[in-house]
Every structure is written in C-alpha cells, then in structure tokens.
Amino acid sequence: MKFSKSLIALAVGAAIAATSYAQAEDKIVVGFSQIGAESEWRTANTNDVMAAAERAGVELKFSDAQQKQENQIKAIRSFISQKVDIIGFVPIVETGWDNVLREAKRAKIPVVIMDRDLKTDPSLYTAKIGTDSVEEGRRAFRWIDEYVTKTERTPRNGGDKLNIVILEGTVGASAAVGRSKGFNEAFNTSPNKDKYNILASQTGDFTRQKGQEVMESFLKSYRDDIDILFAQNDDMALGAIQAIEAAGLKPAQDIIIVGADAVKGMFQAMIDGKANATIECNPLQGDLFFETCKKILAGEEVPKSVYVEEGVFDASNAAEVFPTRKY
C-alpha cells in the first residue's frame, strides 16, 4: 500500500502533536504566591523560584501579592479553582490562613510553605521550605557580643552600657518574630548581658525607605547614645546607613551596623567600611522547593521543615566572598 507524502506528513504531525499533548498533560502544575518585592532578598527569591521551575520542568502559575494578605488568599483560592497539582506560598504574616488552607485540603491539593512560618493546624500544610529565623536572630547577637568583646568597645556617651537599637521587620511576619525571639534569647542568656541596653525597637517594615525613616527618628531622640544597630534585614540597614551619614556620624565606626539576609548591597557596604556584619538568610530555595513538591506528589514522605544552609559574614571577609554572591 502506498501513501502520499502529504498523508505521511499529516500522520507524523499528528504523532508529534499527540506526544507534545501527553507531555503537557504529564507536567506538574504549581501555583505559587509571592508576598511582593520589598527588598533585594525578595527579588532574588522570586527570580530563583522562576528559574528553578524551568530547571524542574514544571508549569508555574505565579502571583505577586504586593504586600497584601488578602491578595495571597485570593491567589490561593484561584489556584484551587484551577485544580493545580500543588500550591506554594510565602506567608506575609503568621496568622489568618486557616480557612483557605482547609479549602485546599478539601480539594486534596497539598500546600508547601516557603521561607516564612505560619501559625495554623500543621495538618493543613505538608512541608515548609526555608530558613531558621530564630537561629538568625541568635547569630546576630552572638556576633555583636564577640565583636564588642574583641574590640573592647565602650559606650559613646561615657555610660556603663552599650545601647542597642533594633529595626524590626513587618509586624506579624514570622521572619521578624523569629529574629526577635532569637536575638532576645541570646541577649538574655549571655554572660555579658549587663554590658548592653536595648534602647529602642521599632518596625521598619523590611524596606529601605522605612528603615531610613525610623533610624532618623532614633537619631533625633538618641543621637549620641546609640552604639549598635541590629536591622532585621539588610535593606533596612542600608536605609539606616543613609540616615546615620546624614546625621554627621560614621556608620560601622560610631555605630556598629549588623543586618540580616546577606545581599550584595550589604556586602558592598561592608567593603566600603559602612557596615560591620550580616547574617545570611538564603533566598535560593527554588530547587529544594520543587524537589520537595515532586516527592510529595510521588507519595514520598518528606520532613515537615526543610532548611537551606546559611552563614555569617562580616567586614573581614566581605571582599573575598563578594564575587561569589548570587543575590
């Protein structure tokens, strides 16, 4: 039996289309809600998720909540109605998720949390990928304590205690809650506790602009009393550096500057002699996230909490490490 070239081409085309359709049908669909783009760290986290989705060969439905919890809840409900295979999200705050997570559970769609924690029934989500914010807070105070001891730092105002001011993150965000908890734990259990006084603590909402504004306020009230700043993320620290310089003081010299996240901007500040240290919070969580999602959908057991590796960097190694930083 002979077939015309057109019939053969048609058959081949149909076979290719069928194969492509089957491959598309087999592709895992992941709905992911990001909190926004409030910092260099968050942008790096978003970019990594998108790149990792391509590497993992999954279909990613991405939603930017623009810093609003209600937008995240709408996005999650949209993912449920679209019948995605699995849902991931970075919770803006710790509470207020119970109802929408129950909806996902009723739809039999697993949920994986990224980066931040939430307070809810643990059975409503399958796993959490991210960082240990409590340990990050502990590391921040430990670094300060070791540095002060090594440099024999004395209070600028001639008093008997070194005054610390704190720029907190977004109110209710688990990263802010965890870093505060860890910092306070390390402070309260330190044998050198009596060397320090926490002078003021206020939210800077994890943004550079708000960090600058709050630091300006601190300086108006306590200009000659502040010895140490702990900013719960680097963007707030970078904003605070601008405020300190505008006040005629030298950051990293007059006031010790410690941030968290370990973004490139903070490394540059350390190289320039304007910051002292940063506690790493690794945003490159995408590969681990999608690897975990695939295991869950394959029916494999996964740990409830899966942490990425993190370190501590300061002015002594910033120049050496900077070229290797990806965010």
pTM of the model: 0.80
Residue type at 309? E
Strand locations in the chain (E): 29-34, 59-64, 86-89, 111-115, 127-130, 162-168, 196-203, 228-231, 256-261, 277-280, 305-307, 312-314
Residue 190: both structure tokens together = 């330190």
Q: Domain 5-130+284-308 belongs to what topology?
A: Rossmann fold (3.40.50)
Domains 5-130+284-308 and 133-281 share a fold: yes
Predicted confidence at residue 39, as pLDDT, reads 84
Output the pLDDT for position 21. 34
Q: What are the domain boundaries of the chain?
A: 5-130+284-308, 133-281
Q: Which CATH superfamily is domain 133-281 in?
A: Response regulator (3.40.50.2300)
Q: How high is the mean pLDDT in each 10-residue block of the chain (327 residues)?
A: 40 39 66 92 94 97 96 98 98 95 98 94 96 95 98 96 97 94 98 97 97 98 98 98 98 98 96 98 94 97 90 97 91
Return the CA Rg of the chain.
Answer: 24
Return the SS3 of 22: helix
Q: Distances in Å between the alpha carbon of 185 and those of 10, 103, 105?
A: 70, 37, 36
d(CA 8, CA 124): 53
Bridge pairing between strands 86-89 and 29-34: parallel
**What local confidence, expressed as pLDDT, does residue 308 receive?**
86
Q: What pLDDT is attached to residue 19? A: 36
